[in-house]
Copies of this chain bind each other. A is one copy, B any other.
Amino acid sequence: MANLTPYRTLASLSLFRSRSHTHTLSAGAVHTFYTSCPRLKPTNVGNVGLAAKDTAIGEQAPEPLTLDGIKARRAKAGKLVAPTASYSDSDMFKSPQSFKAPKARRWDHLLSVESKARHPCVLKQAAKHLKKPGLISLGGGLPSAENFPIERLTFRIPKPPHFSEAGAEASGTDVTTGKYDVARGENGGVHDLSIALNYGQSIGSAQLLRWVTEHTELVCRPPYADWRCALTVGSTGALEQALRMFCDRARGDAVLTEEYSFSTALETAAPLGIRVFGVRMDEQGLLPESMDEILSTWDEAARGARKPTVLYTVPSGQNPTGATQGAQRRRDIYAVCQKHDIFIFEDEPYYFLQMQPYTGSDAPGVPPPTSAGEFLGSLIPSLVSMDVDGRVLRMDSFSKVVVPGSRLGWITASEQVVERYIRHAECASQGPSGISQLIMYKLVDESWGHEGYLQWLMNLRLEYTRRRDAILAACEKYLPREVVSWVPPAAGMFLWLKVDHTQHPEGLTRPIIEIEEEIFNSCIEKGILACRGSWFRAEPDLPLSGLFFRVTFAAASEENMGKAIERFGAAVKESFDCAD
């Protein structure tokens, strides 16, 4: 029990209080969560509404957490009661066994001056008084839900496993939420518009945080006790906050990343005065030995920056190269990070876009996973799943796997890091849209559940496999193999086309970037937009090491992908004087 996270208050700790409908509904404000902490009974259960008699969870739950384990935990816990702007954290939703490990290390020595200077909002601190029975709050300036002009919301979704658009029309479900479902016990009675349309906590609503926490435990199972999740406004916003939490302009802080890296991430770091250095890559992405060498031989004066303390990496379907780190590669990278005390930002938008192994255009495919268990077993372990130190901040996003327009994702990290993250979010985005959260909760929790969501991901896996195979077939058909080469991506949305610049008629005399520009312009002329490799250089001041183009197979139709690759091939052939 030494490492058991201490029992936290169960009551809503918010200054924001559900009181909007007390004039019409007698239930009044309810400030109770069920708890998942073992052995400890709730001591403060608010006024009314605790659905289950026994809210403490027994210790018989299987290890590791399974789909059935989640169902059993929920059944035992009873209905989640989380009114307007309720306080919640992942400890309320983790399984008992997840607490049975040492805690994460502390990162005080890496945190920035800015992050250390953040204190809890004074107004939110006052919310602890809301636990007091009968207290009337004239504290928080929350509008009354009776003045919200949306009474009911319904949306049409597919029912697993009939995920196609036609399937959604034919056999889908209309999911409805009313304004006062919780008080009225309607439409599931766990979440409603009076909550979702009002202010919420920056960490996100308890309703969706529960699902995210369970999902994360199911998939990643971080091997330390005090891991937690927090909802985000998406991973660009999460990365921006994380950079500011760990990097300090005045301290001359620097970050390592793949030598070709996500351009928006680079553009996020630069204005903050954070220097970024690139690590060499192979077909599995970042090379741990290159990283070790960079760090072991770091010369602060020559580099003009402090030895890096942070690694930013996209382990699966890396943007732009499409490279995916295998399990051993991840372990090796983690070991280098331990050796040099590097904190890791693991950006995993494409984690669940891991595809079927590529067997070539003619060979028969590998049979896909047939069950949720098989599917989970097929996934390469996340860095956070091997993170005994708690030195990983993993970023998940609904953008690539459900819808980008939700602006909704989550982070997983140690309690200390998540707490700093939330203090930051409270004075920045204030957390994601409550409407987005409501819709996502209704979809992935109430309608599909964990099992249905995994089925959705399995469906997406095959969809992306199909798309990838289509673009690879086009490449094999239309590209001059003597000049253009590629590694079939195992995950993600991107194919990275390497063009052998040494074979260009002027390859030895002309700068690569000029040849790149020539081909790019020719592509536009011929009607295909591909991204130039130079746009993604971690260190744009260095000369280009190669000639690359990034193309995506996520968006265009198969027919258009074929046409576009044909045009790209023509542009390359023209530039290289290849025979047609």
| Chain A interfacial positions (CB closer than 8 Å to B) | 15, 17, 19-20, 22-24, 113-115, 117-119, 121-123, 126, 129-130, 132, 134-144, 146-158, 163-165, 168-169, 172, 179, 196-200, 233-234, 236-237, 240, 249-250, 263-264, 267-268, 270-273, 319, 399-400, 402-408, 424, 426-436, 438-439, 443, 456, 460, 463, 493-494, 524, 527-531, 535, 551-557, 560-561, 563-565, 567-568
Residues of B within 8 A of A263 (CB): 121-123
Q: Select A138's contact among B197, B456, B552, beta carbons within 8 Å.
A: B552
Please state if B158 and A149 are interface contacts (CB–CB under 8 Å): yes
Known: A123-B535, A233-B429, A433-B435. 10 other contacts (CB 8 A): A117-B273, A121-B267, A126-B535, A132-B527, A138-B529, A143-B555, A197-B405, A234-B429, A237-B428, A237-B430
Q: How far does the alpha carbon of A140 sit from the alpha carbon of B438 in the complex, in Å?
A: 28
Please state if A272 and B114 are interface contacts (CB–CB under 8 Å): yes
CB distance from A400 to the nearest CB of B (A): 6
Q: How far does the alpha carbon of A139 sit from the alpha carbon of B550 in the complex, in Å?
A: 7
Q: Select A434's contact among B268, B270, B404, beta carbons within 8 Å.
A: B404
The answer to whether residues A405 and B434 also contact, given A22-B560, A135-B528, A140-B552 and a CB cut-off of 8 A, is yes
CB distance from A295 to the nearest CB of B (A): 26
The answer to whether residues A143 and B404 also contact, given A123-B264, A151-B156 and a CB cut-off of 8 A, is yes
Please state if B556 and A406 are interface contacts (CB–CB under 8 Å): no
Number of copies: 2
Give the 9 A-B residue pairs with the shortest CB-CB distance, closest first.
Answer: A405-B434, A433-B433, A138-B551, A197-B403, A197-B405, A268-B427, A136-B564, A152-B156, A117-B271
Please state if B234 and A430 are interface contacts (CB–CB under 8 Å): yes
Q: How far does the alpha carbon of A567 sit from the alpha carbon of B137 in the complex, in Å?
A: 11
Q: How far does the alpha carbon of A460 sit from the alpha carbon of B134 in the complex, in Å?
A: 28
Please state if A561 and B433 are interface contacts (CB–CB under 8 Å): no
Q: How far does the alpha carbon of A182 sit from the alpha carbon of B557 in the complex, in Å?
A: 19
Q: How far does the alpha carbon of A392 sit from the alpha carbon of B146 in the complex, in Å?
A: 34
Closest residue of chain B to A233, judged by CB? B429
Please state if A198 and B405 are interface contacts (CB–CB under 8 Å): yes
CB distance from A234 to the nearest CB of B (A): 6
Q: How far does the alpha carbon of A174 sit from the alpha carbon of B298 in the complex, in Å?
A: 63
Please state if B439 and A436 are interface contacts (CB–CB under 8 Å): no
Residues of B within 8 A of A137 (CB): 528-529, 555-556, 564
Q: Select A430's contact among B23, B196, B236, beta carbons within 8 Å.
A: B236
Residues of B within 8 A of A154 (CB): 153-155
Please state if B435 and A405 are interface contacts (CB–CB under 8 Å): yes
Please state if B165 and A200 are interface contacts (CB–CB under 8 Å): no
Residues of B within 8 A of A270 (CB): 117
CB distance from A179 to the nearest CB of B (A): 7
Q: How far does the alpha carbon of A102 sit from the alpha carbon of B139 in the complex, in Å?
A: 45
Residues of B within 8 A of A427 (CB): 236, 240, 264, 267-268, 271
The answer to whether residues A531 and B123 also contact, given A179-B165, A198-B404, A237-B430 and a CB cut-off of 8 A, is yes
10 interchain pairs, CB-CB under 8 A: A114-B271, A117-B270, A143-B400, A149-B168, A153-B154, A199-B404, A233-B233, A236-B428, A406-B433, A435-B435
Q: How far does the alpha carbon of A404 sit from the alpha carbon of B430 in the complex, in Å?
A: 11
CB distance from A482 to the nearest CB of B (A): 22
Please state if B555 and A144 are interface contacts (CB–CB under 8 Å): yes
Residues of B within 8 A of A438 (CB): 405
Most B CB within 10 A of own CB, among A140, A157, A527, A529: A529
Please state if B434 and A407 are interface contacts (CB–CB under 8 Å): yes
Residues of B within 8 A of A150 (CB): 155-157, 403, 439, 443
The answer to whether residues A493 and B529 also contact, given A197-B405, A197-B406, A427-B240 and a CB cut-off of 8 A, is no
Closest residue of chain B to A463, judged by CB? B147
CB distance from A487 to the nearest CB of B (A): 17
Residues of B within 8 A of A151 (CB): 155-158, 165, 168-169, 172
The answer to whether residues A149 and B430 also contact, given A123-B531, A129-B529, A136-B528 and a CB cut-off of 8 A, is no
Q: How far does the alpha carbon of A556 sit from the alpha carbon of B141 in the complex, in Å?
A: 10
Please state if B433 and A407 are interface contacts (CB–CB under 8 Å): yes
Residues of B within 8 A of A236 (CB): 427-430
Q: How far does the alpha carbon of A135 sit from the alpha carbon of B129 in the complex, in Å?
A: 60
Closest residue of chain B to A471, judged by CB? B138
The answer to whether residues A143 and B264 also contact, given A273-B114, A407-B429 and a CB cut-off of 8 A, is no
Please state if A119 and B552 are interface contacts (CB–CB under 8 Å): no
Please state if B426 and A429 are interface contacts (CB–CB under 8 Å): no
Q: How far does the alpha carbon of A478 sit from the alpha carbon of B138 in the complex, in Å?
A: 15
